Amino acid sequence: MKTPFRILCVCMSNVCRSPTAEAVLRQLIERNCLGDRIEVSSAGTHGYRAGDACDTNSQRVASARGYDLSSIRARKVGWQDMEYFDLILAMDRTNLYNLRRMATEEQLMRIRLLMDYATRFSEDEVPDPYLTLGGRFELVLDLIEDAATGLLEELKRQLEPASNKAADFSQRTMQL
């Protein structure tokens, strides 16, 4: 795995789900001292909110759990992103479809759903809280925290130096 490994989180307008995923991943990356090895950003498949701050409800819910979304501004995903990022994580199937339409054959393998990495929740999408009754911003954050934690565990395994992997394998083999 090359370093820094670059991750892009994507929803429709980049003012709620994807910036929340960016902030959660950033905090997990920093807590695990991986800031020099993993880079994360966010964008939207639509540009009509470009330059806008994150949704106030998203900021409020995230802030209550220690995440800061205040400096994140909405932007539209571009063709450069498709080449630059190693992993592009869509929040839902609609955005997954839109990203795949933009991608070359080679880039398709880099695009996945964020919830593919969830360990506690069985949902396959992070729902848009604007489209659900009651604006389920807490659920959105719960889902993102779960998937981000699962993703970081996967990345830590992949970033582990080969010598550590060989030592672990040797140690496990000796125990048999």
Q: Provide the pLDDT for residue 64.
A: 97
Percent of the chain with pLDDT over 90: 82
pLDDT of the residue at 163:
43
Contact partners, residue 110, CB within 8 Å, separation at least 6: 82, 85, 86, 87, 88, 103
Largest CA distance in the chain: 59
Res. 170: pLDDT tops 90: no
Higher pLDDT among residues 13 and 169, named by residue: 13
The overall average pLDDT reported for the chain is 90
Hey, which residues are catalytic here? 11, 17, 128
Contacts of 65 (CB under 8 A, 6+ apart): 141, 145
Structure-block tokens of residue 152: 């970081």
Domain 5-175: which CATH number of 3.40.470.10, 3.40.50.10540, 3.30.450.20, 3.40.50.2300 = 3.40.50.2300
- How large is the average pLDDT for residues 154-166? 73
The least confident of 47-56, 73-82, 128-137 is 128-137
| Element at 89 (helix H, strand E) | strand 87-90
Q: Give the residue extent of every domain in the chain.
A: 5-175
Q: Give the helix ranges, DSSP H, for 36-136.
A: 56-64, 79-84, 93-102
Strand-pair partners of 42:
9
2: left (phi over 0), alpha (psi -120 to 50) or beta: beta
